[in-house]
Amino acid sequence: MRAADPGRWISLSAIVAFGLLWELLARTGAVDPVLVSAPSRILTAAWRLSTPGALLADAGFTLRVFGVSLILSTGIGVGLGAAIGTSATLQRALSPFIVGLNALPKIVLMPLIVLWLGIGPAANVSLATLMGSFPILTSTTAGIQSLDPDLILLGRSFGASRGRLWRDVVLPGVAPYVLSGIRVAVSYAMVGALIAEFFASSRGIGHRMILYMSNFYVDAFFLCAVGVAAFVAGCTLLVAALERRLLRWRPPVPQPPGM
């Protein structure tokens, strides 16, 4: 399937064509390379910066914040989502807060978080976790609520214990929902980590991007942006591959045209 997938080649060719066009426009002076950079300038910047120095240290900091936040988001999202999914009372009680918090752009909470936790990794992890938890929470709740009640009845008719029901019926049934929640949460958590660094941090890729920009070093700014995009896309593909591997049992979904 993978080798014969023409969509993959079309996507790759489009990326290459875009890069060539960008380079061409910058070289011919149709656009100002000082403002929009160019692939060759980004590569030069990468070469000049790739000495084990500040950029790598900042990338490491952002990665740690991102990783910790994603793990926390998964724990909170799955735990709270499962609790809400199994208890109608809890759902009634918590849904106004969840809907409200979900509607609020989480960025506006950053000043409060800094006020409470001070500037530092704890504040960054808090914002990223806040952003990452919601997609996992809502998809876990949806997963629990869409479980076929006949499957539970079936387990009970064979005398399955509560633990057995969770392990053999609930978890495998909810797994597809949790995984698709995590796939979305990957980019949300990264957005949270970067924005926290934009606003209040002396470390991290986000901080460095602001630094580059204030020094008008557009090439290095683009280098960071492309790097983050590639990393998040890679993580998303990884989760998608994990989904395909774990969910082999699902009937193939007919692809809508053009997807």
Partner 1 sequence: MSVSPIEVRRLRVSYPSARGPLEVLDHLELTIPRGSFTSLIGPSGCGKSTLLRILAGLQIAPEGTVELHGARTATVFQRPTLLPWRTVLDNALFGLACRRPPTGDDRAAATALLLELGLGDHLDAWPHTLSEGMAQRVNLARALLVRPDVLLMDEPFSALDVQSRRALHDDLLERWRTDALTVILVSHDLEEVAYLSDWIGVLSDKPTRLVDWIGLELPHPRRRGVQRRIALLEVMDRLAGALEQG
- Minimum separation from the CB atom of position 252 to partner 1 (A): 9
- Chain positions 165 to 224 lying near partner 1, rule: CB under 8 A, are 168-169, 172-173
Taking every pair of Cα atoms in the chain, the longest distance, rounded to a whole number of angstroms, is 75
**164 counts as binding partner 1 under rule CB under 8 A:** yes
Please state, in angstroms and as integers, the Cα–Cα distance from residue 155 to each residue in 144, 148, 149, 159, following that order: 16, 12, 10, 6
Q: What is the length of the chain?
A: 259
* Alpha carbon distance 92, 33 (integer Å): 55
Nearer to partner 1, 154 or 213 (CB): 154
**251 counts as binding partner 1 under rule CB under 8 A:** yes
Closest CA relative to residue 127, chosen from 140, 141, 145, 113: 113
Stretch that binds partner 1, among 3-11, 41-49, 94-102, 247-255 (CB under 8 A): 247-255
Nearer to partner 1, 76 or 152 (CB): 152
Residue 97 burial (CB count, 10 A): 9
- Minimum separation from the CB atom of position 251 to partner 1 (A): 4
Closest CA relative to residue 185, chosen from 69, 103, 83, 98: 69
With a CB cutoff of 8 Å and minimum separation 6, the contacts of 8 are 2
**154 counts as binding partner 1 under rule CB under 8 A:** yes
**150 counts as binding partner 1 under rule CB under 8 A:** yes
- Minimum separation from the CB atom of position 165 to partner 1 (A): 9
Nearer to partner 1, 83 or 160 (CB): 160
* Alpha carbon distance 179, 130 (integer Å): 18
**147 counts as binding partner 1 under rule CB under 8 A:** no
Closest CA relative to residue 183, chosen from 230, 242, 226: 242
- ∠ CA 245-248-251, nearest 5°, is 145
Nearer to partner 1, 117 or 160 (CB): 160
| The only residue of 77, 155, 181, 206 in contact with partner 1, by rule CB under 8 A | 155
**162 counts as binding partner 1 under rule CB under 8 A:** no
Stretch that binds partner 1, among 37-45, 147-155, 207-215, 222-230 (CB under 8 A): 147-155
Token pair in block for residue 234: 């890679």
**160 counts as binding partner 1 under rule CB under 8 A:** yes
Residues in contact with partner 1 by CB under 8 A are: 148, 150-151, 153-160, 164, 168-169, 172-173, 247-251
